[in-house]
Amino acid sequence: MSVSIRTLVACVIVLQLFLLFSATFNSLWISDREAASSTAPSSTSSTSNNTFQNSNQPDQTDTDLDADYDTLLNNAVKRCFDSQPRPCPFDYKWAPLPHSLFQTRKRNDSSGHWLPVPQTSSVNPPQNQPRKLNVLYYTTHSNLLTVMDRFFYDEIDAAITHPHLNVFLWGPHFPGWNDPDSVGEETGLSETVELKLKRVFPEVVFDIVYMMDWNYGSRLPREAVLVMTLGDCHNTTICVNQMDTYEDVIGLRYAGEIMDLFRPDQWVASNQRKIAEKKAKGNVTAYNYLKNREMPFFFHHTDCAPESVFYPSARKTPNETWADSRPYNAQLFGFVWDGLYPLRHTIREGIHHKKIGHGAITYTHPGYDYTLPNTTALPPGHYDPFDPRTKPVRDQRSAYATALRQTKICMFDSSTLQKAIRKFHESFMSGCVVAANLPIEMEDIFRDVVIPLRLDMTAEEVDRLIEVAGRVVSGERGYWFPFGYSATCRKYPWGDSAMWCP
């Protein structure tokens, strides 16, 4: 797999966020080599056992990190590609944290937007980060335990490897969420969420709060940069109306949704409707806020997949070929509702009714959520990638990854919305050949590495395409005429006829 594809799918989105936050503060990119100024405020970092402290990642200067990276790059390539799963430490180099995040910052009292921080001199910048950034991943307890789409938690897995972050995980119904001694909700839900965080983490000042797309309208600490990630949107009216948020940044997993739903004119119209709703309900706090509200910063927050889970099978013997290691010729993956996934539905029906042969099978979709009884919770703020409570969903993903590794041609579609869904990344990383319709985002990346299908293809067309792809990857060469062909003599207007013709 090329480095460009590997970089695309690596779970390093946290660094994208930081670079973009810098733009919201400063309007200009700050040099990669600038560190924090000597006037940067100090922030108390929790040292309790509730925080993942990255104990295996000692603090290092930028120079040390450069040296470590170069050493890893020079020494690890062969070891990486000879081992499974691949660690590949050379895929991504941690960028210096934007220096604006360490400076004193202030919001506009009226709109709530951040005022640009002063740009400091880059002459003789200090080599060390002044402290670690405190990042809260804000989600529900049930989501952590049950959701099958683990993109949010894959990002946390990446974040905890960063040497300059303190990573926390917390949210509704985690330990400490409900306090019988707290003061009730006379100040409203938004303020209550903020008070809950201050009560559970009294010594922590969060720099960034990153939350899931269900967190509509919850006001979080004003001293933090508030980021929300929005995933699938299948009902445009609901998606737009639910954006009653206080966030500074909104990251959408699929690029098309930004232009479809959040153009400036759409944002203004949506905000005006919400202002009228708050006024009618007598919610003075929300009304005053929305009246002065400015557009947040939007960006494309592309999907990712972890290399520790999705990787090609290692050779069992030196002579084993790619095809030998994959017992399934073709396999259909994903949910098959024809309203959203028409091509998957066609393929599933073709396999079921024997119109698509060649050993093609369907991988059983497990559903989107796993139901399990309540279990003992981790301490507030703590995150464990190998939490025994999440083992059922991790086992399910492991089974899915194994199926990808065992398949020559992985079939699915990008839905009627033509999105670059995670299955593209996961399949590429697992080494199978992808057969799907092309998404309308990142087309140049996918065009040359995908067997292109159409959403309106018939089962017969898919059958032929699968067969010819299977023949090629199995080593066949020459000619194939699936509809029959007689190589008799034909007369051309100019030039010679075939060599066997008189």
Phi, psi of 488 (to 5 degrees): -95, -175
Is residue 85 helix, strand or coil? Answer: coil
Tokens of 193: 């969420």
> What length does the chain have?
502
In sign, the C-alpha dihedral spanning 231, 235, 238, 241 is positive
The whole-number pLDDT of residue 192 equals: 66
The whole-number pLDDT of residue 122 equals: 47
How confident is the model over 177-206, as pLDDT tens digits?
A: 876 554 443 334 444 678 888 889 999 999
Phi, psi of 402 (to 5 degrees): -60, -40
Is residue 133 helix, strand or coil? Answer: strand
Q: Give the confidence band of 115 by pLDDT, cuts at 50, 70, 90.
A: confident
Interatomic CA distance for residues 46 and 382, integer angstroms: 11
How confident is the model over 266-285, as pLDDT tens digits?
A: 888 888 888 898 899 998 87
SS (H, E, C) 227-248: EEEECCCCCHHHHHHCCCCCCC
The whole-number pLDDT of residue 208 equals: 92
Phi, psi of 209 (to 5 degrees): -120, 120
Give 332's DSSP letter: E
The whole-number pLDDT of residue 332 equals: 95
Which CB contacts under 8 angstroms, 24+ apart, belong to 265-272? 266/240, 267/295, 270/240, 270/241, 270/243
Report the percentage of the chain scoring pLDDT > 70.
Answer: 72
The mean-pLDDT minimum among 22-31, 339-348, 414-423, 434-443 falls in 22-31
Whether the CB-CB separation of 95 and 65 falls below 8 Å is answered with: no
Give all strands (DSSP E) within 128-280, no chain letters.
133-138, 165-170, 208-211, 225-230, 249-252
DSSP calls for 358-392: TT-EEPPP--SB------PPPPTB---TT-GGGHH
For the chain, give percent helix, strand, coil, nearest 5: 35, 10, 55
The C-alpha R_g of the chain, in whole angstroms, comes to 26
C-beta neighbour count of 452 within 10 angstroms: 13
117 or 60, which is more confident: 117
How many H helices and E strands in the chain? 16, 11
Please name the amino acid found at residue 186: E
CATH 3.40.50 is right for the domain spanning 328-473 = yes
Please name the amino acid found at residue 413: D
The whole-number pLDDT of residue 7 equals: 34
List Cβ neighbours of 241 (8 Å cut-off, separation of 6 or more).
270, 273, 274
The mean-pLDDT minimum among 21-35, 116-130, 292-306, 438-452 falls in 21-35
In sign, the C-alpha dihedral spanning 19, 76, 2, 408 is negative
Please name the amino acid found at residue 183: V
Is residue 136 helix, strand or coil? Answer: strand
How confident is the model over 119-175, as pLDDT tens digits?
A: 654 444 445 667 899 999 998 888 888 888 888 888 898 888 888 899 999 988 888
Q: What angle do CA 89, 51, 368 make, to 5 degrees?
A: 70
Interatomic CA distance for residues 9 and 429, integer angstroms: 8
Tokens of 293: 């509200």
Q: Which helix (H) or strand (E) holds 297?
A: strand 297-300
380 or 413, which is more confident: 413
**Structural domain boundaries of the chain?**
3-300, 328-473
This prediction has a pTM of: 0.71
Please name the amino acid found at residue 200: V
Query: Which residue has 């399934």 as its token pair?
Result: 328
Interatomic CA distance for residues 406 and 490, integer angstroms: 45
Interatomic CA distance for residues 295 and 271, integer angstroms: 9
Interatomic CA distance for residues 23 and 236, integer angstroms: 28
Q: Give the confidence band of 366 by pLDDT, cuts at 50, 70, 90.
A: confident
How is the beta sheet containing 249-252 ordered, strand by strand?
165-170, 133-138, 208-211, 225-230, 249-252, 297-300
Whether the CB-CB separation of 164 and 128 falls below 8 Å is answered with: no
Maximum separation of any 2 CA atoms in the chain, in Å: 101
Phi, psi of 101 (to 5 degrees): -70, -15
